[in-house]
Structure 1
Amino acid sequence: MSNNDLSITDKIIKNTVKEELLNKYSQNTLLKGLVQIVPYGGLVDSVLTSSYNNILIARSKTFFDELGLGNIEITPELIKNEDFLHSYFTTYKAALYTKHREKIRFFARLLKNGMISEVIDDVEVYDDYLKILDELTYREIYILYTLKGFEDITNYTDSKELNHWQEFSSKITNDLSITEEELRLFLMRLMRTGCFVDVLTFAGLGAKGYTSTLFKTLSKLIELKEEDLVHFIKI
């Protein structure tokens, strides 16, 4: 495809974001190969200003820097695999539209641990986890991580004995500067993602429960840890 055949948006991706990334990762065969197959179009919705273009470059660097950590191998067979390419492009696009650098790293870890390391062998399952991660806000991830931490300490299962709930609620409302009512609304929304199970749903009260198996698996795939969420933790 010649440069004349590209839209204005495609040209910006090709001539700025992509060129910048290729220069940065010129010595890393693995990452350079992934950058080279980034498609020109479909990544943005409008003509980029110079400032926004720089934001895209910074987000892309965060994604590829995280992807380059650890011992992963991109084989020629993998690059030709339709399922991998689908997962790579959709994950990169999600990362490109994400503000928080920490969450961009989550996307890179999901791709690395889910598809490259083949922990997930079904692309539709991978898509489900990607969609959930994309839908969760950074604050919601913190809420779920904090709740899971209390569950781990108390060895909570699903016995409805939520002895840690008040302490959890107080911590979240303090750390996020929200009310208990706002926390309840957050948790009600999290039920729809499948990451939170409400033990009071049938009573019509809502918003008291435990993190789901789905979230526990997701947290392992993205290697979720406390230092990823220090932005919210108050001393």
Structure 2
Amino acid sequence: MNKIIKVTGILLILALAVSIYEINNYRDLYKETEQKYGSLENSFNELSYSFEELQKDHDDLLQRMESLQNSFDNIQREYNTLHEKYGDLQDKYADLEDQYAEKEKEYVDLEKKYVTLEENYKSLKKRYDELEKKYTFSSSIDPSLFHVYTEMISVYNRDIADLANVLGNEKSFLGKIDSIFNYVSYHINYAPDPQNIEIIQSPIKTYQIKRGDCEDQAIFLACLLKIEGYRVRLNFVDREHTFDD
């Protein structure tokens, strides 16, 4: 009986020791779990805060994405419009390129004609210079009398006016000039002034006596043309000077 009691006591002591050991283990485990829980709670709080911030960022990003989508749609529409305009411009460019090619060809042809014309001009200029040297003459006209001759062009006489109207009956512009010029050439005889003497002769006098020197004939011709409405001007030329009105 005593042995049973002893064994039972030993077993109880062992069970108590085991229980105490387990209690200590549970206590340590509880503390460790409590620490982990506290750490996990802190992490959870941080995660919750981060989640809220992330949610805000998400909402903001969503708004920005919607705005970006609207901008993209606008750009897409502008692109389509620009693409159509580009197509039209490309067609116009092709047409303009064809026109340019034609104009370039015309320019080349015109340049060739210009070169030919320039060569002809140089040839004519050379011939003109040669003729000018050959036929240059001196004039005895006094330049101080120039205005006197010019005023004579405006002298009005009924007989001269009637003659101008008859000669100017030709309808064409050049026909009237030709008719008046031929009359002066064939009906006014050349009569030079005495040597070293300049006789001032009016167109009326020239018409009456039917003769005169070169300036008398020119003044009479200019008078007839002016009556017919032509703009006239006298040019008196000597070796070095030209006097004109």
- TM-score, normalised by the number of residues in structure 2: 0.22
Structure whose CA Rg is larger: 2
- TM-score, normalised by the number of residues in structure 1: 0.22
